[in-house]
Structure 1
Amino acid sequence: MSDVTLAVAPRPEPNVTTTTTTTSDAKLEQKPQQRHHQPPQAAMGGVMGSLRVIELQLVAFIMVFSASGLVPLLDLIFPAFVSAYLIALSRLAFPAHGTTTIGSQEIFQGSWLFRLYVVVGTTVGLFLPLAYVLGGFARGDEHAVRSATPHLFLLAFQILTENVISGLSLFSSPVRALVPLLYTVRRIFVISDWIQDVWINKALPANAQFKDIAWFWFGRGLAAANLVYFSTNVFCFLIPQFLPKAFERYFRERDEIQAKTFEDKRSTAANKSQPTDKKDD
């Protein structure tokens, strides 16, 4: 998944075990049976039934950010536009082939260095900005809260969208790869506004105490670190590596399906021609 997706494993497929029952005539019959620890009913229905605890927390963050009045209107409607665009792509441009199981939908598998890169992105992009916003509330620094909240709002929506889409076979790999790309590009512009707020529009008082100076430079450094990290992420990972790998996987699966379909048709035609040849003899 993306650079700052939380460490959430793909949704497991229902576990199925095989039990053996003996009939009176010593025949063995295998019957699929679900494990007892699995809930007897299916998901609660719709997307909400499949949301896990971390996703419900993200929904809570999104609702709080939306109701706070700290997120601009453009950023509020951006997730709706992205969701509609992704659904249109999944139906019109890149429909799912239906051969990929939920457990094997991971597009990019990196080394330990890549996992470290993801941890750094999660810390810089999510945890530290969240601490900055909460610290701004505690200090009464409305300027800091208003500067970083749009970035957190879009990032929460990005993680939620990625986690939901990763559990649905409806979306193909190119569509899923576009989620972090679209959101990250938008967030770069949002972070640029954050940079302007803390580096240009906010000045440090002349008689500021040490804790105020440290807080001031923490905000500046955090905004700059987010801009550097996510700009690097877009131009050095998402565009040159992540997106091509998603398209390569998609078209390889399509070619394999087309080749298999052609072989099935040819074998069917050959089987039909054999009885006709026998009748002629």
Structure 2
Amino acid sequence: MSEPNSDRRNGILTFQQLNSLALIIVLSASGMVAIEDFAFVVLSYFYIYFLSKFAFPTLSTSSENSVFGHNRMLSLYCFSGAFIGLFLPVAYIFQGIYEGDKEGIKAATPHVFLLASQLFLEGVAWSDRFSLPMRVLVPVVYNSTRIFTLMEWVRNEVTKGEEEFHGSGRRLFMGRVLAVANLLYWVFNLFGFLLPFYLPKAFKRYYTDGGKNVRD
């Protein structure tokens, strides 16, 4: 998502990170996570670390802390993303285990795994070892990748009625609504918020601060 906290941290895991890490471990241990998704998460960390060292090093200024500051509307927007994108899909997965909807679980898992990994890595990027551009690139990269998993989830839910399905009709309806709602939310988040607003503001703040440091 974006700006989970406007205060830089010294490496201590937050409650959100611990929950995300627990979910990552559970999904990974279940065998429902594709090897390419797991590899993407591992490689993305090393790539972001590489960029933080050679392309966007940390600036010694406190103005890197935040782009929008303490914004109540932004906090509500981020919470709605966590509710739609994480809490409800996790409930959908566990309910699918009860009803035996293996295809529904399989289709929703990649999105949940990548979003949990994104939240964990966002927390890492908010430490004092990473610059502002790194904290922006994490949600942009992960959001872009999850668009494809969401499209596959929607496709799976739409065609599920044409296949053998052992779950309830209510689950079939809720699965379609949830998949479409997530696709719409995260498409807007990427193309309506991250790329046109968050990314330019963050880079402007970073290079403005860099110019001040050079003059000083």
- Confirm or deny a common fold (TM above 0.5): yes
Matches for 1:256-267 after TM superposition, within 5 Å: 256-260=212-216
Alpha-carbon deviations, 1:186-213, whole Å to 9, x = none? Answer: 000111111111112x1168999xx822
Structure 1 residue 184 and structure 2 residue 143: aligned?
yes
* Aligned-residue CA RMSD (Å): 2.4
Q: 2:161 maps to what in 1?
A: 203
| Cα distance in structure 1, aligned partners of 2:130 and 2:165 | 56
- State the identity as a percent: 37
- Aligned 1:27-66 pairs, distance under 5 A: 50-66=12-28
Are 1:191 and 1:223, in contact at CA under 8 Å, matched by a contact in 2? yes
Partner of 2:61: 99
In structure 2, the residue matched to 1:134 is 94
- The SS at the match of 1:171 is coil
Aligned equivalent of 1:157, options 81, 102, 117: 117
SS of the residue 2:168 aligns to: helix
Q: Distance in 2 between matches of 1:223 and 1:146?
A: 13
> Is the 1:204–1:213 Cα contact (8 Å) retained in structure 2?
no
Structure 2 gap ranges (5+): none
CA contact (8 A) 2:8 2:65 kept: no
- How far 1:110 sits from its partner (Å)? 6.8
Given residue 245 of structure 1, which amino acid in structure 2 is its aligned partner?
A: K
Aligned residue for 1:254?
210
Give a deviation string over 1:6-36, Cα, whole Å, max 9, x none.
xx674668xxxxxxxxxxxxxxxxxxxxxxx
Q: Which runs of 5+ in 1 are unaligned?
A: 14-46, 261-281
Between 1 and 2, higher relative CO (CA 8 Å, sep ≥ 6) is seen in 2
Match of 1:2 in 2: 2
Whether contact under 8 Å (2:16, 2:119) holds in the other structure is no
The structure in which a higher percent of residues are helix is 2
Aligned pair partner of 1:122 in 59, 75, 82: 82
Deviation at 1:108, TM superposition (A): 2.6
Q: How many positions carry a matched residue from both structures? A: 216
Structure 1 or 2, whichever has the larger Rg, is 1
| 2:20–2:120 contact (8 Å) kept in structure 1 | yes
In 2: Cα distance, 1:108 partner to 1:53 partner: 22
The TM-score normalised by the length of structure 1 is 0.70
- Give the superposition deviation at 1:114: 3.1
Alpha-carbon separation, structure 1, partners of 2:48 and 2:24: 20
In structure 1, distance between residues paired with 2:191 and 2:69 = 19
* Cα contact 2:125–2:134 (8 A) shared by 1: no
1:83 to 2:45 alignment: yes
Are 1:245 and 2:201 matched, yes or no? yes
Greater mean alpha carbon deviation, residues 60-69 or residues 245-254: 60-69
Q: State whether residues 198 and 220 of structure 1, in contact with CA within 8 Å, keep that contact through their aligned partners in structure 2.
A: yes
Maintained 8 Å contact 2:85/2:182: yes
Determine if contact 1:177/1:246 at 8 Å carries over to the other structure.
yes
1:105 alignment partner AA: N
In 2, Cα distance between equivalents of 1:97 and 1:107:
15
Tell me the CA shift for residue 84 of structure 1: 1.2
- Offset at 1:223? 0.4
Q: 1:188 to 1:110 in 2, by over 3 A?
A: farther
